[in-house]
Structure 1
Amino acid sequence: MDVTQWTGRHAAWLQDAFEDTQEEFAARLGVSLRSVASWRHSPDMVPQLETRRILNTAYERAGDAVRKRFIHYTRAHVERIQAQALRVAIAVVRRGDEVLLVCRQDGDDISWQFPAGIVKPGGSAAKVAVRETLDETGVHCMVRERLGERLHPVTRAICEYYVCDFVQGDAINGDASENAAVAWAPIKDLSRYIPTDRIYPPILNALEATV
């Protein structure tokens, strides 16, 4: 990969491909934690030449598994642009050591997920995440940070993820037509509700930082 192609988006994908936390990735590259955080929040930024060289070296020295994951992210991004896939905003709402979940019901299929809503063209994903959380669960929340986005490996929808702070409200099932239940789940027991391999890695990193 040519160094001139590196952007904040590519750097964040490389972090995900290594499955590193921000701290681990900063240590791996020998750059500041602030730089690593800025890449995820400013995906279109172009790092300085020396930083691009560092990223290029890290990629060249990475194992096959890391390279395959990185290539998957880049291809998925191209597919996302080409297909103009459905956009979904997902809210990861924290309250102390708990996270808000909804139990989706699709016929006999039941699965626990984070509150989510479809983003209409030109709409704000952050606002949708907050609004859908309130509509589905009765919980008022506010966005703390955007974690990133990915082309969902199963639904093929573009998913944008937001860590949100609990403001107020009792957790209730506000959409019985789609959801079987709503619950505050202990973060330490999250894998009992959602298999870890199905969770976007930055979500796990963000939640682990609160436990």
Structure 2
Amino acid sequence: MTEQITDQEPGISAAIIVRDNRVLMVRRRVKEGDLMWQFPAGAIEVGETAAQAAVRETLEETGLTVEAVKLLGERVHPKTQRLMSYTACTALAGQAHVADEEELAEVAWVAHGEIPEYVPYGLFGPVQDYLDGTLGQPERAQP
């Protein structure tokens, strides 16, 4: 009999944050398998929704205050076998930095065309679709 890891561990909630035509990514100090760069994310705590966890984890890890906008989708992550929720968020206040030095090594605002350099194995379809629609737009010229 095999048990799924997702039955034993809490789900993980990731925040997809776009600001100035870039998406926020973080590099963990300890790799999770092939994962080096990912979105701010962490375990969903008891009594917390995926959206609440995405907001809390973003603040704890990067110092950035965000607001959850909408759930983009959920899946069992093919690399970690953890149940993942992905929430689009809007930045409200602060500047992203390594706020949790035990967990993070680096943060980066990544342009649409740079995403494959950070995540060479591709993104979850609904997240990629959201970023294609959000980041795929040319920047508007300032008058």
Which interval holds the TM-score relative to the shorter structure?
0.7 to 0.9
Structure with the higher fraction of residues in strand conformation: 2
Q: Which ranges of structure 1 fall in alignment gaps of 5 or more residues? A: 1-78
Larger Rg: 1
| 1:174 matched to 2:99 | yes
How big is the shift at 1:86? 2.5
The 5 Å alignment of 1:21-170 reads 83=7, 85-106=9-30, 111-170=36-95
For these two proteins, the number of residue pairs brought into alignment is: 130
Q: 1:136 Cα deviation (Å)?
A: 0.7
Which residue type is aligned with residue 90 of structure 2?
D
Do the aligned residues in 2 keep the contact of 1:80 with 1:151 (CA within 8 Å)? no
Deviation at 1:94, TM superposition (A): 0.6
CA contact (8 A) 2:61 2:103 kept: no
Q: Which residue of 2 aligns with 1:39?
A: none
CA drift of 1:80 comes to 8.0
Calculate the TM-score normalised by the size of structure 2. 0.82
Q: Give the TM-score taking structure 1 as reference length.
A: 0.57
In 1, Cα distance between the equivalents of 2:18 and 2:75? 21
How far is 1:114 from its partner?
Answer: 0.2
Instruction: Tell me, yes or no, if structure 1 residue 204 matches structure 2 residue 125.
Output: no
- Measure the CA separation in 1 of the matches of 2:9 and 2:124: 18
Q: Distance in 1 between matches of 2:46 and 2:56?
A: 16
* Cα deviation digits, residues 80-123 of structure 1 (max 9, x gap): 88x3542011001011310011111117x871110001012332
> Which of the numbers 101, 104, 116 marks the counterpart of 1:191?
116
Task: Please tell me the residue identity of whatever aligns with 2:108.
Answer: A
Q: Distance in 2 between matches of 1:193 and 1:150?
A: 20
Q: Relative CO higher for 1 or 2, CA cutoff 8 Å, sep ≥ 6?
A: 2
Question: Percent of pairs identical after alignment?
Answer: 36
In the alignment, the residues of structure 1 paired with residue 80 and residue 121 of structure 2 have an alpha-carbon distance, to the nearest angstrom, of 17
Per-residue deviation, 1:173: 0.3
State the 4+ residue runs in structure 1 displaced beyond 4 angstroms. Answer: none
Question: Does the 8 A contact of 1:85 with 1:156 survive in 2?
Answer: no
What is the distance in 2 between the residues matched to 1:80 and 1:201? Answer: 22
Residue 13 of structure 2 contacts residue 86 of structure 2 at CA under 8 Å; is this kept in 1? yes
Give structure 2 stretches of 5+ with no counterpart.
137-143
- Distance in 1 (alpha carbons) for counterparts of 2:54 and 2:100: 15
After superposition, the CA RMSD in angstroms is 2.1
